[in-house]
Chain A
């Protein structure tokens, strides 16, 4: 590794924990930050559990996991993020909240530190403008579940320097990920295409074109997709799809990104997908990912 920086992960939810696993597995010292210390502890516990399964599956040795977890620390004190050479933010998708976080980080991190946002729908340039270092700011959108998916959509903001983007790209590759460059545009590539596609599938149900299970069979049979759109929506969570619609439609105003009325009714009825065992399809268990 050409550069042994410490990577900070701000936000200890599902995505933040996944990113922390990726970065730790890639050989970097990690600091996980969250305002809630209990959440930080929970995140580190989830990391340990994930790596324990990696040992069970023979992907890592016990010694390797001990070494990885020995480089992981957590904090609820933002001042403890001072040593970070890169901070990846994975908190709530709200521009002002992210802006305040980066503004605070700007006061404690060194001038060489890069900032990155894992936002899936907000503008990198707009977040960067609130960070105090928009020339050293990039978009790094990991896919869910980050610990299993190699892809990272990387976007420069308008004022991001070429050097900063190249450094962040290199670090991403050092983590073992596969970056692709996209414009700083709403939804980048994945969500720009996926959110409207899934909405279109919901509208087919709404209009009586086909039942959800038939839509999945058609798409899988015709195109060889591993999952149909209704299964995928149930996995994402229908409440999450509403949030994605609101975020994407809010900035693009594209009709296909607008939340279909049936989706809102499903959420109101607490049919949220796999996590409630009922969404567009029914499930016997709420389990999402294998061991």
Chain B
């Protein structure tokens, strides 16, 4: 996708999406017409902006919160040139190439397309979603990971056979148990607990093994 826009990146706090050098960060220009607010405190940067209308698009890096926390909401008619974004990332693993772009009901389509073009022009993949907890990927994978951990406890199969089955049967590059071991069970606990609190759905309740891992992390073990 061609990208006719220039962009300016303001980093405020550690960014989960861009924890290290990236072509998108390197290409920042002071007078860019897309403003990328990255970092854990991107929302604070947005709150301190005097004028968002001078940019064609403003992109706020999101953590687990909804975009509406920063922009406000009104009767389901909210939306402007301000969008949220986050690179999907499992625990401490490197960020994936997937950027979830968060829009609101009345977000300008031109802003969505400009955001997509910006990320894709810098080697990333994009998916657009509404402003909901967990966006797309966490909403889908966390119940699956919890179920895998629960079925492991129930001795449905060995961890190795569960992983192998899902790889051979569905072509997944990695089984759920090995994936959670690689990226951190405690990190899974944190993400799924936030979703459980937000959605109230028992499928997001941290599985026992994730609770144990979190407890051990808190005890420094």
Contacts and interface: CB of A to CB of B under 8 A. Distances in A.
Interface of A: 143, 149-151, 153, 178, 180-183, 185, 188-190, 192-194, 196-197, 200-201, 204, 207-211, 214-215, 217-219, 221-227, 229, 255-256
Contact of B136 (A188, A196, A210, A225): A210
Contacts of A222: 88, 96, 98, 137
Interface string B163-188: 01110111111101000000000000
Given A180-B161, A223-B137, 8 more contacts: A149-B168, A180-B157, A183-B154, A189-B161, A204-B136, A208-B130, A221-B98, A221-B127
A153 B161 CA distance: 10
Given A180-B165, A218-B136, A222-B137, A210 B171 contact: no
B205 interface: no
Interface in B168-216: 168-174, 176, 203
Those 4 A-B pairs whose CB atoms lie nearest each other, nearest first = A221-B98, A218-B127, A221-B125, A151-B168
B155 A150 contact: no
Contacts of A193: 144, 147-148, 166, 176
A227 B162 CA distance: 20
A62 B161 CA distance: 37
A223 B156 contact: no
Contact of A200 (B143, B161, B171, B172): B143
Interface of B is mostly: mixed
Interface residues of B, number: 42
Q: Which of the listed residues B88, B140, B151, B164 has the most CB atoms from chain A within 10 Å of its own CB?
A: B140
A146 to B, nearest CB: 12
Contacts, number: 131
Nearest to B138: A222
Contact of A189 (B97, B132, B162): B162
Contact of A218 (B88, B148, B165): B88
Contact of B137 (A151, A190, A218): A218
